[in-house]
Amino acid sequence: MKLRIDITACDGRGLCAEVVPELVSLDDWGFPIIFADVPAELAEHARLAVRLCPRLALRLER
Amino acid sequence: MRPRLLPDGPSKGPTSLPGHLARYGPPAPPARSRRRREELIGEVELAGLAGRGGAGFPTARKLAAVAERRQAVVIGNGTEGEPASAKDKVLLARSPHLVLDGAVAAAELVGAAEAIIVAHPAVADRVVAAAADRRRVRLDRVRLSIVSAAEEFVAGEASAVVRWLERGTPKPKATPRRLSERGLHGRPTLVQNVETLAHLALITRYGAGWFRAVGTDSEPGSMLVTLAGAVKYPGVYEVAIGTAVGEVLDVGGGPSGPLGGLLIGGYFGTWVDPAEAAAVPSSAEGLRALGAGVGAGLIAALPATSCGLTETARIARYLASASAGQCGPCVFGLDAIAGQVERLADGRNPDLARLRRWLGQVGSGRGACKHPDGTVSMIASALRQFGAEADRHVAGWCTGTATSVLPAPTWGRR
Distance in angstroms (rounded) separating the CA atoms of residues B201 and B327: 38
Determine how many CB atoms are found less than 10 A away from the CB of residue B65: 17
What average pLDDT does range B4-16 have in this prediction? 86
The residues of chain B that CATH labels 3.40.50.11540 are 17-211
Please count the residue pairs, one from chain A and one from chain B, whose beta carbons lie less than 8 angstroms apart: 41
pLDDT tens readout for residues B102-147:
999 999 999 999 999 999 999 999 999 999 999 999 999 999 999 9
Give the DSSP letter string of B278-300: TTSBSSHHHHHTTT---TTSEEE
- What homologous superfamily does CATH list for B17-211? NADH-ubiquinone oxidoreductase 51kDa subunit (3.40.50.11540)
User: Is A6 part of the contact surface with chain B (CB cutoff 8 Å)?
Assistant: yes
Distance in angstroms (rounded) separating the CA atoms of residues B38 and B165: 29
What pLDDT, on the 0 to 100 scale, is given for residue B176?
A: 58
What pLDDT, on the 0 to 100 scale, is given for residue B303?
A: 94
pLDDT tens readout for residues B200-215:
999 999 999 999 999 9
Collect the ranges in chain A with pLDDT lower than 70: none
Pick the residue with more confidence: A57 or B30? Answer: A57
**At B223, is the secondary structure helix, strand, or coil?**
strand
Chain B hits for A24, CB-CB cut-off 8 Å, are none
Give the DSSP letter string of B198-219: HHHHHHHHH-HHHHTTSB-SSS
**Which domain, by its residues, includes A56?**
2-61
What pLDDT, on the 0 to 100 scale, is given for residue B397?
A: 86
- Whether the Cβ atoms of residue A44 and residue A3 lie closer than 8 Å to each other: no
Task: Quickly state the pLDDT bin for B414 (edges 50, 70, 90).
Answer: very low
Name which of A7, A29, A33 is nearest B332 (Cβ-Cβ).
A29
Chain B hits for A31, CB-CB cut-off 8 Å, are 328-329, 332-333, 366
CATH architecture label of B308-395: Up-down Bundle (1.20)
Picking from B171, B355, B366 by the largest number of A CB atoms within 10 A of its own CB, the best residue to mutate is B366
Task: Quickly state the pLDDT bin for B402 (edges 50, 70, 90).
Answer: confident
The residues of chain B that CATH labels 1.20.1440.230 are 308-395
What was the ipTM of the complex prediction?
0.94
pLDDT tens readout for residues B339-355:
999 999 999 889 999 99
Distance in angstroms (rounded) separating the CA atoms of residues B272 and B386: 9
The nearest alpha carbon in chain B to A12 belongs to B328
Q: How far is A14 from chain B (nearest CA, A)?
A: 12
- The CATH number linked to A52 is 3.30.70.20
Across chain B, what does the average pLDDT equal? 93
User: Is B339 part of the contact surface with chain A (CB cutoff 8 Å)?
Assistant: no
Name which of B174, B326, B328 is nearest A31 (Cβ-Cβ).
B328
List Cβ neighbours of B178 (8 Å cut-off, separation of 6 or more). B65
What average pLDDT does range B12-31 have in this prediction? 90
pLDDT exceeds cutoff 50 at B412: no
Q: What is the pTM of this model?
A: 0.92
Comparing C-alpha atoms, which of B294, B309, B276 is closest to residue B399? B309
Pairing relationship of beta strands B235-240 and B114-119 according to DSSP bridges? unpaired
- Whether the Cβ atoms of residue B304 and residue B402 lie closer than 8 Å to each other: no
- Please give the angle made by the CA atoms of B376, B380 and B384, to the nearest 5 degrees: 170
Q: List phi, psi (to 5°) of B240.
A: -70, 140
| CATH number of the domain located at residue range(s) B224-303 in this protein | 3.10.20.600
What pLDDT, on the 0 to 100 scale, is given for residue B175?
A: 64
What average pLDDT does range B284-303 have in this prediction? 95
Q: Assign 3-class secondary structure to chain A.
A: CEEEECCCCCCCCCHHHHHCCCCEEECCCCCEEECCECCHHHHHHHHHHHHHCCCCCEEEEC
**Domain count along chain A:** 1
Task: Quickly state the pLDDT bin for B413 (edges 50, 70, 90).
Answer: very low
Q: List phi, psi (to 5°) of B246.
A: -60, -40
What pLDDT, on the 0 to 100 scale, is given for residue B411?
A: 47
What pLDDT, on the 0 to 100 scale, is given for residue B410?
A: 65
**At B189, is the secondary structure helix, strand, or coil?**
strand
